[in-house]
Structure 1
Amino acid sequence: MTDWEERIRIFWLDASDADEESTLSSMHVLIAERRDDDPAATYEWASVHDFLGQEAEAIPLYRRALELGLDPVCLPQAQIQLASSLRNVGETTEAIRILEGVESDATIGDANEAFLALALFDAGRPGDALRVALKALGKTLPLYRGAIDHYADAIVEPK
């Protein structure tokens, strides 16, 4: 881990949404150390806006970070956070499209499925949302995974 990455890690440990101006200022100091086209810095700048409830400002920053090419650890995190921000501003169709392309891994676990379930619910697809959530939960149930998967597959959307 580089010194910059360690300072980012410490920033997030101490981050508070109580003092928006100070939080933005502290992150700005960190990202100003990097090139304008640094995907990690762009991702962190997007993340702090998202953290502060400024999803509309975070969305183009997440898109830029993704275009610039994030490392394999940050890539799914950025995709999930972009999709979550899109869902929060009412763009559920795009959020669903992004989340359906994110695969679970050791860093994010099944967070992609949790956020997909939320987006599906917001899109008026509660049956699909419940199905996704139950299948994600089923992975953690050694004795009942088969039963939960079966019941999840049997869910139909309400008319």
Structure 2
Amino acid sequence: MTTLNETWEERLAALWAALDTMPVQDFIAGVDAMAAELPQDDATGLFERGAARDSCGFPQLAIPLYQAALGAGLSGLRRRRANIQMASSLRYLGDPQIAADLLFTEMQASSDELDAAVRGFLALALADLGREREALAISLTALSTYLSRYNRSLARYAQGLVEKSTD
């Protein structure tokens, strides 16, 4: 990563840190201005523009930007974040099945620090689909990774919830 990119990322992080202290339209304009410093169809810029709109209550405007970012080759944690955030927006806007499908696919991706987030948003989508027992199992499995004790027991019991519902 070049120094310019590191500086850009630092300025972006500072802008995100100020999100709750500024009007949403000013925040979106700030992210758009930063994205304009990148090439027009840059995947990172598209993703950040989508995330800004999503975080400011405009999920319907965020989804096409997430799709464009993914189509432009978004990679790394931002790729995974785009899928999680897009699934969350889809669920919120009334399409929990597409959200669940997207997150089930994401669960097959390489493991990283966003695994619990994938499971958490998947649980929300499953609950919206009337699959509460499976949602609870996925939530408990995600929670079990953070416990200092009983994590194996909780994970086994969570798996048992799903097995009982398929008997």
Task: Provide TM-score, normalisation by structure 2.
Answer: 0.85
Deviation at 1:18, TM superposition (A): 5.5
Query: CA offset at residue 17 of structure 1?
Result: 7.5
> What is the correspondence of 1:77-156 to structure 2 with a 5 Å cutoff?
77-102=81-106, 103=109, 104-106=111-113, 108-155=114-161, 156=164
Tell me what 1:11 maps to: 15
| TM-score of the two chains, using structure 1 as the length reference | 0.89
| Residues 17 and 52, structure 1, Cα contact 8 Å, conserved in 2 | no
Q: Which runs of 4+ in 1 moved over 3 A?
A: none
Instruction: Mark the runs of 5 or more structure 1 residues left unpaired by the alignment.
Output: none
Aligned residues: 156
Following superposition, the deviation at residue 26 of structure 1 comes to 1.3
Unaligned runs of 5+ in 2: none
1:62 corresponds to: 66
User: Percent identity among equivalent residues?
Assistant: 35
Please give the secondary structure, in 2, of the residue aligned with 1:110: helix
Higher helix share: 2
CA–CA distance in 2 between the matches of 1:149 and 1:119? 20
Separation (CA, whole Å) in 1 of partners of 2:22 and 2:8: 24
Q: Aligned letter for 1:15?
A: L
Change (3 A) 1:16 1:25: same
